[in-house]
Structure 1
């Protein structure tokens, strides 16, 4: 199949991630699909992460490390990686999450066989220590722009985008929910996102200020509705009520 020769650019932002990033990198190295480049952009870490990343870059020529000169947040780090990347396909993985070994191969096959340009997969939660939890997020078959406004179920760690079809894109420079805003900008052009039922990624949850982080996420989601998507108050409130419902369901 033609997808076997296509380069996948894996985008990974990093900030003070020395405790987990090696597990994330190893999950890319273990992929059954070998034609990838891993672009790690470190956002001025202070915990020794840059030294660790330098060693990884020496170990495999497919790993590229970019060290930012000033901290700008995950969106700017991802955009730096996007500008550097050369792959047809763009995949995302955060520095504390993991992929299953056949993630790229199965997902690219799914895209090739169906001519899909924007796909995502189901995923499961793991603890801060990497232990599996009995909690999974199951990807719906298809998500449109209007669907995404009501249900932010697409996990960034599971997304692959075909730039030959979607075109070049960047993330808006906001500190959180930049992934949601990005998916909305792509879907708003008339594309759909297609989900795979297979669980192909592991999302790590921490124990620090979880309720506070949920509140901040809700606030930023509202910001995306009102300031980026420019929804009127009634439409934003209607979408937010659905978002809240689905967010609670994801965590039950």
Structure 2
């Protein structure tokens, strides 16, 4: 049987060619042929869910403004003045609805964030079945399944939350870092019925998260990865087609 080609998941959108987590990055990722767009979710000071990787604006806007202390409108204004983007999550849902599925990297570890995500999905009409809900704490898996029963739960496992803790919760969608995604590890997870997505770059690679070359992608495709998180989705699409 012919193996299905890996999904290309645009890390923070087409962040190689547009401001990360922006509407421009979303549109560019869709145009580049991405199968899904990844974005980061935090709670702003006024309780609004916003799309931001970092806990503050130092890196993207040059100001140490804390996300969780600042209202969403002010975050958006400060980011825009620096050519960056901090969107309300609902705005991203509206822009992506009917166009592309999303992967949410949920930075918050409190169960209330799940109810807020569900509320934004309902408000915008975005289908929860088109969401992969990336969680860092296996204790959130049960609440996530109660609040968003049709969304896929994705294990964002790391050093303090090994993959086994998510497997114990019967999570079948697993994220690995590139450094850990060898053929043996991927095959072992496949034997347990798991789907494996790999974040390229990051620790152990001497590359920024999401940065990769075609040779890195070919290795991960050969290792059996089912999804590849990349900053340049056009590069990812070309690599997948070349490996077909």
Q: TM-score, normalised by structure 1?
A: 0.25
Q: TM-score, normalised by structure 2?
A: 0.26
